[in-house]
Structure 1
Amino acid sequence: MKLIEHYLILKTAYATQKNDVDIETTLSEIIDILGCSQPNGKGVLNRLKQQGWIRWNPGRGRGNRSRINFQLSLIDGIKMYISDQLAQNHFKEGMEFLHSLSIPTQIQSVLGEFLEGWFGFQTEEGNEVKHILRIPIHRNLLSMDPAQVSTAYEYHFVGQIYDTLLRVHPITKQICPHLALGWEAPNEKSWIFYLRKGVHFHHGRLLTSEDVIYTIQRLFHSTESVFFWFGHYLNNVESLGDHTVLFNFNRPFPFFPYILCSNKASIVPYDVDIKQQVVGTGPFSVQFFSKEKLIMEAFDHYFKERAWLDRVEIFRFPEELQSKFLYKMTTENVDSMEMRDKTVTQHVTITQLILFNTKKPGPQQHQAFRRAIRLALDRNKMIDETNIKGANPADSFLPANSKKAIIPSYTLSEAKEALKESGYSGETITMFIHPNRWRENALWIQSRCNQIGISIELRPLEFSKTLQFLHQAHLIMIEVSFKDESEINLIEPLGNNSIYRKMLTLQENEQMDLFIDRFISGKTANERLSTWNEMVDWFKKEHLILFQFHINEESLYSNYLQGYKFGALGMADFHSLWIKDKINL
């Protein structure tokens, strides 16, 4: 253990005492606090004294107590400690250690302010000024393989590291060129794409048609890929030269260009194992990646303009500490910025859902049981009684569709009648919930179900562990955020290996496949959207998904932040960001 950690343990044990005041104690008491042997305890005290952090006067003789006098304030000690941990890339360990201490609330607030000064936009002086963005996130990063990303954070970061052949314009929703300069369909079952020249991967090699072929084959043929089920549509892929690719399908596939706009269809190099080394063509190259940290630097040879930011650093900030240390990242945290009253507001809509695990044996396999819970969970009453500010009842994944719906209220008597029909015999069912969010909401759901005779055990579990223990859940409460309403983002979350797929029976998955087949075969956007709405209506009719509410989460961005474009979770596109310096004329 570091000396500063010993100091903080001692200081928090005497947190009610002022600095530079003699505190009576005993060596035995000090040893108990430190949890060490007497020789080690004496050694720690001597080293703390040598550092000038304490004054230590041991008691001599019977009845004479020792005296300790703290010279370093608790907040200064914490700042010193966390600065050292950050410098040594031990951020997670440092935060976990602080979490183990009994830190007074006012100190937690000051620590939050200190962290605000470290996160956000920073300037690093040296031979060349570096502009850095540091962001805390509250989930582990499991993968930077585009085909396997599972969270909105990962999806967003992949979009900074890799490029797709095509992109959807954020406003018009029209497909635009990107790595592909152009494309055409010579017949209804084939697509030809023409690639840009001179596009470099981060490891130096130029992009060719072989990379595109490799990417699509692993995307359509890997069971871990969200687009795996499209593999049976593909006959073959051919290279017609270094910069031309031909795709032949066994059926008309008008939706194919939209798939190529997904970050999950980002182009990866054929000569690199992405699971071992993260290499793309995007505006940022990965310098370090672990489940707790991601460091990206601007790629000087990006085929479009170089990013203004020189480095982006992502740190896993334990979510259980978010409220304790009173910090939430917004990009208004710009060093040396004034006039923070001039801001740009970004809204992200979160939708809360309850999903039933119909694969697992239990009462939730009966449609009437699921309907009973739907009738019991009156959405308007839930919002009122749990005081969820800014929430609106949900009847779909999309708020715009929910606004058009008439959401009825039901009585507990109606719910009890449905429960009788299900044959429920009183067994306890398990619902996974978020460990740190919507606790009051979950308790309300548990109470309403109890009122109609359903016993629910609430089990807090991080999302990263949900899939691992999914077989233990009868239902789960999750929140989702659709990145936007473009067509690929409507269908992508329901793809192969998604949590929806893992919780449904084979027969229900086959029904989803039928809807998706119709969706991708639709020749117009209206035709495809109609099919998607039919699928959502089927979810509701079978009560496989219970839509609860929509809520807006708001972030404020400094007026000096330029070039902001927002993606998943309202996070800004790092490639386009730059800071307008304050100039006094």
Structure 2
Amino acid sequence: MRYMEHMEKLTSYYPKGLDIETSIQEVSKLLHCTPKHVKTVLHYGDQQQLLNWHAERGRGKHPRIRMNVSKDDFLFIRAKQSVQQENYHDAFQLMESASVWVQQQFKDWFLKQFNHIQMESDRELDVFRYPFYNVGLIMDPMYAKSRHDSHMIQQIFNRLVEYDRESDELVPSLAHNWESEDGINWYFYLHKGIHFHHGKRLTSDDVKQSFNRLRKLQLFKHEIEWITTPSITTVHFQLNKINWIFPRYLAKMSASIIPMDVLKEVGEQQFQKFPVGSGPYQLTVHNNDKIRLEAFNDYFGKRSWIDRVDIIQTPKLYQSDLDSPFLLESPDQSWHKLDVIEEGAEFILFNDNTEICQDIDTRKMIRYCIHRYKFQKHQSRKIPAHSFLSEQSRSNSEVQQGGSSCEEPKGNLQSIIHRKIHRPIRIAAQQIREDAHHRPVAEILQKQLEDLGIQSIIEMLPVENYYKDIKHYDLFVGGVMLGEDRLLSLVSNLYGSTISISECIHESEMRTELIHQLNRMKQEKEDSKRWNIYFKLEEQLISKHYIYFLSHRTHSIYEPSDHHYGSLQLDQNGRVDYRRIWKRW
């Protein structure tokens, strides 16, 4: 490594392609090393064809050095070597000293090396390796914020049950069976012989402790009365009221079962970065270079075919231009492009907890200032939304959403609004992490309000502070992505999730109606009836101007038409489920 550092100094001092007279003493002074070591360094550089060293004998004759590479050339070579040695962080650091042109060259080379998704065979191990920008993963199920967090949690942990999107049913996971006679008392029966990654046996007590911890969350604290463990493989939940969809709550990523002994030993902060679960993959490396998952050989279920997953921590500079969690482009012509719509939506909430929005007429007037099409005009890969569900958006008309333009002449609208609004409107923009937020959307809203003479202030609202601080804002600009169990995601969005619509509804009649209808959904045993209740509730929220839907996100993803790895495909969120990949030949 010291040789390479010396080479970098030489390329910085001597220009490329010119014969320069020098001396061992001069090079020794430049490299801060002994004349003897200088000769070894120069010999190394000559062997690597990085330079030519001509030492001529005779009085008055001086050695000559000719650099075959520039500093940029050398940094490029060295960065490529670091990547090939899996020292990715070193490679990216080297590129910080390179010119912008060479940084772009390296980016093009780096992305091509992986074709963005790369399968390798190493020592009879099937390895899945790909670059991924660093999002500051939080892998404690209780505190997960983003789809990236949830994706990793899905691989490392297990839940009592899993939701199968193809059959639209729950399937066994840690629990092989579950039952309830009254919708209040639920019994879950665990498989035997389940172990966490650190070797401890998973029992009903781990389930109880995990859920006692989760009862801090809004979603669970109003549902569970108490939990008992009749045996080491039986868990009994007693709920506050009838809830026939309760088992579906337990398929959420937040309901993953964790070993409390590890959590207590290392603390929550450390557990977020180095989690221990019972899932098909265990985390073995999490550093500046990569995140490594390795197949858990003692997994109680079906072992994953892929032995190892290496996720390369890639700086923003080397991301693809595509808006995807993966640095995704078509690796070759065997892959075909597929445009998909992400279920969920961006929206504006009107908070009737404030004096401005507590009046339905004022909410209505503000709503008339907002033009949905202007949000799509400024943002690519988005389509108009009229619901959280894309299918429902397609069937809803602009009339059902209150119209697409002001129903009052602009002058009349300004006059009415100015009589009702006597201070700047406070807008909260949802923030998931430092570089993932809805401020650009809030700024489009701010400009539309400004056009009618309405002043506003935008402030970032971290999702973890939503319940504490939302009461201070008139409008909330945010978005949610629905999970695979869409119905449960919608129920959670209304009451109990990280971003809960109910927190913006304090008007007694509407809030009572919301809670009543949610309870009805939980008491129904048929999904069709639950969906009918939900759609009527969503209609009410729109017509009473509590929510205004803006857009659905779309993604362009690629699927292999003919590939020797089966199930190597990306879902609508650009993620690969490592558990499903298998090899044909």
Verify: 1:395 aligned to 2:361, yes or no: no
Contact 1:354–1:548 (CA under 8 A) maintained in structure 2: yes
Verify: 1:420 aligned to 2:418, yes or no: yes
- SS of the aligned residue for 1:416 comes to helix
Corresponding position of 1:165: 160
Q: Distance in 1 between matches of 2:558 and 2:335?
A: 9
Q: 1:80 aligned to 67, 73, 78, which one?
A: 78
Verify: 1:573 aligned to 2:571, yes or no: no
Contact 2:79–2:94 (CA under 8 A) maintained in structure 1: no
Query: 1:133-532 residue pairs with structure 2 within 5 A?
Result: 133-142=129-138, 144-219=139-214, 221=215, 223=216, 225-230=217-222, 233-273=223-263, 275=268, 276=271, 278-289=275-286, 294-319=291-316, 322=319, 329=326, 340-343=333-336, 345=338, 347-349=340-342, 352-356=345-349, 358=351, 370-383=363-376, 385-386=377-378, 391-407=382-398, 408-411=403-406, 413=410, 416=414, 419-425=417-423, 431=429, 444-456=444-456, 475=475, 477-494=477-494, 496=496, 498-500=498-500, 504=504, 515-532=517-534
Q: Are the structure 2 counterparts of residues 70 and 479 from structure 1 closer, same or farther at C-alpha, using a change threshold of 3 Å?
A: farther
Corresponding position of 1:64: none
Q: Distance in 2 between matches of 1:155 and 1:321?
A: 24
Larger Rg: 2
Q: Distance in 1 between matches of 2:11 and 2:503?
A: 50
Q: Distance in 1 between matches of 2:288 and 2:212?
A: 27
Q: Are the structure 2 counterparts of residues 377 and 514 from structure 1 closer, same or farther at C-alpha, using a change threshold of 3 Å?
A: same
Q: Are the structure 2 counterparts of residues 240 and 571 from structure 1 closer, same or farther at C-alpha, using a change threshold of 3 Å?
A: same
Contact 1:116–1:333 (CA under 8 A) maintained in structure 2: no
Q: Are the structure 2 counterparts of residues 444 and 297 from structure 1 closer, same or farther at C-alpha, using a change threshold of 3 Å?
A: same
- SS of the aligned residue for 1:227 comes to helix
Q: Distance in 1 between matches of 2:340 and 2:8?
A: 40
Contact 1:209–1:243 (CA under 8 A) maintained in structure 2: yes
Deviation at 1:525, TM superposition (A): 1.6
Deviation at 1:136, TM superposition (A): 0.3
Q: Are the structure 2 counterparts of residues 319 and 135 from structure 1 closer, same or farther at C-alpha, using a change threshold of 3 Å?
A: same
Contact 2:367–2:545 (CA under 8 A) maintained in structure 1: yes
Q: Distance in 2 between matches of 1:40 and 1:501?
A: 70
Contact 2:184–2:243 (CA under 8 A) maintained in structure 1: yes
The 10-residue stretch of structure 1 (313-322 or 543-552) with the greater mean CA deviation from structure 2:
313-322
Deviation at 1:410, TM superposition (A): 1.1
* Amino acid across the alignment from 2:383: N
Q: Distance in 2 between matches of 1:376 and 1:44?
A: 69
Corresponding position of 2:558: 556
How many residues of Structure 1 are paired with residues of Structure 2 in the alignment?
Answer: 540
**Alpha-carbon deviations, 1:147-177, whole Å to 9, x = none?**
2211111112111111122222212212222
Q: Distance in 2 between matches of 1:356 and 1:405?
A: 19
Q: Distance in 1 between matches of 2:540 and 2:255?
A: 28
* Amino acid across the alignment from 1:141: L
Deviation at 1:477, TM superposition (A): 4.2
* Amino acid across the alignment from 2:245: F
Deviation at 1:100, TM superposition (A): 7.5
**Alpha-carbon deviations, 1:491-530, whole Å to 9, x = none?**
3445546134697477799666555444323332233323
Q: Are the structure 2 counterparts of residues 94 and 519 from structure 1 closer, same or farther at C-alpha, using a change threshold of 3 Å?
A: farther
Q: Are the structure 2 counterparts of residues 300 and 9 from structure 1 closer, same or farther at C-alpha, using a change threshold of 3 Å?
A: same
Q: Distance in 2 between matches of 1:173 and 1:521?
A: 19
- SS of the aligned residue for 2:180 comes to strand
Q: Distance in 1 between matches of 2:462 and 2:81?
A: 30
Q: Are the structure 2 counterparts of residues 452 and 262 from structure 1 closer, same or farther at C-alpha, using a change threshold of 3 Å?
A: same
* Amino acid across the alignment from 1:245: V
* Amino acid across the alignment from 2:447: S
Contact 1:137–1:314 (CA under 8 A) maintained in structure 2: no
Corresponding position of 1:129: 125
Q: Are the structure 2 counterparts of residues 423 and 5 from structure 1 closer, same or farther at C-alpha, using a change threshold of 3 Å?
A: farther
Q: Tell me the percent identity.
A: 21
Deviation at 1:284, TM superposition (A): 0.4
Q: Distance in 1 between matches of 2:66 and 2:430?
A: 48
Verify: 1:111 aligned to 2:85, yes or no: no
**Alpha-carbon deviations, 1:42-86, whole Å to 9, x = none?**
4489999885757999xxxxxxxxx99671473662352265378
Contact 1:352–1:548 (CA under 8 A) maintained in structure 2: yes
Q: Are the structure 2 counterparts of residues 304 and 68 from structure 1 closer, same or farther at C-alpha, using a change threshold of 3 Å?
A: same
Deviation at 1:258, TM superposition (A): 1.1
Contact 1:359–1:365 (CA under 8 A) maintained in structure 2: yes
Q: Are the structure 2 counterparts of residues 125 and 247 from structure 1 closer, same or farther at C-alpha, using a change threshold of 3 Å?
A: closer
Q: Are the structure 2 counterparts of residues 427 and 305 from structure 1 closer, same or farther at C-alpha, using a change threshold of 3 Å?
A: closer
